[in-house]
Structure 1
Amino acid sequence: MGNQSKQIAKRSQSSFYYAFSLLNPVKRDAMNTVYAFCKSTDDIIDEGYEPDEVRYDKLRKWRIELEKSIKGNSEYQLLNKLGLIIKQFNIPLEPFFELIRGMEMDLQRKRYLTFDDLKEYCYRVASTVGLMCIEIFGYKNKSTREYAINLGLALQLTNILRDIKKDADLGRVYLPQNDMVKFNYSEHDILTGKYNQNFISLMQYEANRAKILFQTADAKLDFEDKPSMFAARAMEHIYKKLLNKLESQNFDVFNKNINVNKLEKAAISLGVWAKYSLVY
């Protein structure tokens, strides 16, 4: 199962895989298991073309099996392994169930009126993952929880900006509707891929929000906890680079595939790891 979890993380080519590859073997195995759970939960919503009722049923069963896994009684080997990791690192259960609720939100609503509405979604699908991870990394200050929460919000908002076209193709519009009104950019515009100055201004507005969330996260991370958070910091640097790339390309996500490549992710992760290994 450890190898299977590693393969799930590696196949995804995610920033997650590169950021956590330099952890010690025990923590790396734990993180691969947590990632495999998160990816498997996400796949229930995003893979295939099943009706929403089927996905609801799958999520409901997944939640029940997660509850069983705490006692090692799940029919899924991955969840039983996760149950052991939860006990080993004393990870609170709530973030795992909140993540599933976040996936349910993708079935219940495809639009968000305000940024506060969107923040709830971002918390459930991203900040929860941060709250799982910091228990594995280890920390001493309660403010590190706020670091994880705000970093998760920043990462997810950056993801949303990158994936505008992909999400629109699935009928999902995550940008707050009242922000779209503010910049005179309609839902029809986004669904048809209309790239104009109004869109660029709207995206810059949301990108500035992401920057503030990154800054808020940094302010919450105590100096004492920085060394143990090097993997989270690597994720942060990768996503800040992504945000910078989006800006430098004027957010032309309809016509360009804007991303951070594998070599860049690996270099950033190694650089952050070296900094915290050598300086602290």
Structure 2
Amino acid sequence: MPKPLAEVAQIMGCSELDLTCVEQIVRKSKTSFAAGMQVLSPERRYGMYALYSFCRIVDDIADEEGDIQTKHRLLGEWREKIADLYAGKAQSSVENVLLASIGRFDLKQSDFIAIIDGMEMDVDHPIIAPDEETFDLYCDRVASAVGRLAVRIFGDSSESAQKVAYHLGRALQITNILRDLEEDAERGRLYLPKELLQRFHLPLTPDACISSPYIQEVCNILAFRASDHFRLAKEFIALCDQKALLPAKIMSVTYAFLLAKQRRWGWKPPFRRASLSLPEKIMVALAGLVMSVTKLKI
């Protein structure tokens, strides 16, 4: 029987209002993230809601309209808030649940700062055809750092779980980059590595690059790279606490499905962005249910 919200709040040391706030942020985003977190205990689920809320807030600062100076100021304020959290001080509902989660799950301050650093990369100037080193650094900051926090909330802080975060974070981020080429180009961004673009003589400007029929070759290479990260994540998940890493399995299955669908559709203009249809969402949800009952390995 699910724990009453008041009991969860008492266990975590924050208020029911705080927990409701972070859950509402997740619900309003209409992300499939919420469904995958239902397999967690209430304390871990609200910890993930708080982490998602933090990521949503700093990502919106980087992506929404506004001048660069204001964005830097707001992200700087979050650097100070993170420092305050590790000094035991919180001022908002999101911060209150983050503070509870930091203490309960031994979350590392460096990972929160890495996420903010990743947002700063988008603010400083539009990322356009980064070199491979910058591309990997960006993926680590905006995705794998989130994974490093998430696996601790899930309940596994082992070295193998950190490797899951490394590989699954990169797999998810590359998948999203491949799905969002057109949207990113409209924002003046092009996350595809410069070395790959130059190998196929593609232009290094967003609109011209994604309009080229040769974009398919570059995206196929990145898709294979993502698949390799999914494979390695699976191998490290097998070395982890299977119950704890169940949400990671569900995310891996979901995003591997999206990547496969995007590969079938391809990347030649006109671009089609892969997403889950209602039947596919039901299928993935059922796969998660089967995993939760049988501890099935992906």
Instruction: Give the whole-Å Cα distance in 2 for the aligned partners of 1:253 and 1:197.
Output: 7
Tell me what 1:246 maps to: 262
TM-score relative to the length of structure 1: 0.91
Alpha-carbon spacing, 1:275–1:252, altered in 2? closer, same or farther (3 Å)? same
Report the AA paired with residue 260 of structure 1: L
Instruction: Give the whole-Å Cα distance in 2 for the aligned partners of 1:40 and 1:243.
Output: 26
Instruction: Give the whole-Å Cα distance in 1 for the aligned partners of 2:259 and 2:142.
Output: 19
| Of 21, 30, 40, the match for 2:57 | 40
Tell me what 2:284 maps to: 268
| Of 76, 85, 100, the match for 1:60 | 76
Any idea what SS the aligned residue of 1:14 has?
A: coil
How many positions carry a matched residue from both structures?
278
The answer as to whether partners of 1:33 and 1:78 remain within 8 angstroms in 2 is yes
User: What is the deviation of 1:150?
Assistant: 0.8
Q: Once superposed, what is the RMSD of the aligned Cα atoms?
A: 2.0
Instruction: Give the whole-Å Cα distance in 2 for the aligned partners of 1:252 and 1:8.
Output: 35
Alpha-carbon spacing, 1:26–1:262, altered in 2? closer, same or farther (3 Å)? farther
Q: Note the 1:70-85 alignment, pairs <5 A.
A: 70-85=86-101
Report the AA paired with residue 127 of structure 1: S
User: What is the deviation of 1:264?
Assistant: 2.8
Tell me what 1:107 maps to: 123
What runs of 5+ residues in structure 1 fail to find an aligned partner? none
Alpha-carbon spacing, 1:87–1:261, altered in 2? closer, same or farther (3 Å)? farther
Instruction: Give the whole-Å Cα distance in 1 for the aligned partners of 2:169 and 2:269.
Output: 22
The answer as to whether partners of 1:91 and 1:135 remain within 8 angstroms in 2 is yes
User: What is the deviation of 1:136?
Assistant: 1.2
User: What is the deviation of 1:107?
Assistant: 1.7
TM-score relative to the length of structure 2: 0.86
Report the AA paired with residue 263 of structure 2: E
User: What is the deviation of 1:192?
Assistant: 4.4
Alpha-carbon spacing, 1:64–1:262, altered in 2? closer, same or farther (3 Å)? farther
Range that drifts further, 12-21 or 106-115: 106-115
Report the AA paired with residue 162 of structure 1: R
What runs of 5+ residues in structure 2 fail to find an aligned partner? 1-17
Range that drifts further, 102-111 or 204-213: 102-111
Ranges of 4+ aligned residues in structure 1 off by more than 6 Å = none
Tell me what 1:87 maps to: 103
Q: Which is bigger in relative contact order (C-alpha 8 A, separation at least 6)? A: 1
Q: 1:218-267, CA deviations, whole angstroms, 9 ceiling, x for partnerless residues?
A: 22223452221111111111111110111111124753232124553453
Q: 2:29 matched to 1:12?
A: yes
